[in-house]
Structure 1
């Protein structure tokens, strides 16, 4: 989960760190001891040094990020370079890889709850503001017709809960043939709770 609070940022850092392999380095970030596992040697002490597309970089600074955390210094660049690492959840990477000339779903993000899906969409829109990247959230408790309308207009990124996303795919409102990135957030929670009717 990536939202503005310090606690949630730390949670993201832990998740990313646990996915990167080899080597261990202990760091302190705002008084929190962390073990950073990585097989990538280069450390970037600023977002500017990461060769991030300019429109995304503007969104990062506008959202309030000033300096990358210890994990972000090590994880953002390798995750942007490696396409097959679908287990690494970084919204920067998702946005970095979008082809903005193609207004179709290129990235699908699944979350176990409506609230988390809405938070992810909020951050995605904020970070991608200067890119004019479009993002739609498909969750239960909202009008199915509105989802179908928005998806037919074309969205670069779709975030949603499994039930509603499955429904949109079944109705052929959400096309999957142009999806290049798939992110499964909180996979352990999603698998432990299973699909619930409330997610439709």
Structure 2
């Protein structure tokens, strides 16, 4: 990727945390997480698993990977370790953790929370902090398990306030996914609206 000609040195820090001229989609973030999870291979997103053309269900082949990202293995491991700590060492993504009957984490979720500002803090103060459509958006990108990942994805929670709330949604997705794989009962539907945290 070539650096922008009009980039200023002071923008580097803010862009590094997703502020400034950063534009991503949920699908691009899911692909990014899958790339980190599988060691650098960029997967091709696809929606169809099978098609019924009138003659019964036929599987749709998985598209081939796009390419292999050139990521230094030590840096990749440092990123993966950091993603694991966000969920498992009292980080902002701890809501995504899946625990077994003994209360200990299972399936080792890794992820990163994010918050996308909808309006500046000054604008929010002027407009009144209680307006729902002025609340920040919450993001959580994830993969699991840490070793030999089987799932990667993203939760974008519009006006969800912060990424910790999006991690709660991801928890339900992951718990359902692994319950099916483990042959255990599916988790109950979460009461997310009642549990959303206003704290930022």
TM-score by length of 1: 0.26
Higher relative contact order (CA 8 A, sep 6+): 1
TM-score by length of 2: 0.26
- Structure showing greater radius of gyration is 2
